[in-house]
Amino acid sequence: MDTAAVRKRLRWRCRRGTKELDLLLERFLEDRFAQLDSHDQAAFERLLGLEDHFLQDWLIAGQSPTDGELHRIVELIRTTEFSPPR
């Protein structure tokens, strides 16, 4: 699988229309996605398929998904210390 093509596709899916979500998701993709195991990468892709209001509730408002896989990836995103913007 072409990782550059996958990252490009995921970067596009990280664009959500709100600056906060865009920055959070894009920086997670850049800083952490490559280090995730395939299970967590799949969970991240699944998360990107959800509607924005779920992502805002979970990633910004601090609520938690009941789905265990999504809960884990949400916690990883929330607790990631991002490198300074490039």
Map out the domains of the chain as residue ranges. Answer: 18-79
Residue 23 clears pLDDT 60, i.e. is over it: yes
Terminal-to-terminal C-alpha distance of the chain: 27
Q: Tell me the pLDDT tens digit for each residue of 27-84.
A: 999 999 999 999 999 999 999 999 999 999 999 999 999 999 999 999 999 998 876 6
Domain 18-79 falls in which CATH fold?
A: DNA polymerase; domain 1 (1.10.150)
Give the pLDDT confidence score for residue 85 in this predicted structure.
63
pLDDT band at 25 (very low <50, low <70, confident <90, very high): very high
Give the pLDDT confidence score for residue 14 in this predicted structure.
96
Which candidate, 15, 9, 6, places its Cα nearest to that of 55?
15
State the Cα torsion 60-3-35-74 to the nearest 10°. Answer: 20
Give the pLDDT confidence score for residue 1 in this predicted structure.
54
Element housing 19 (H / E): helix 19-31
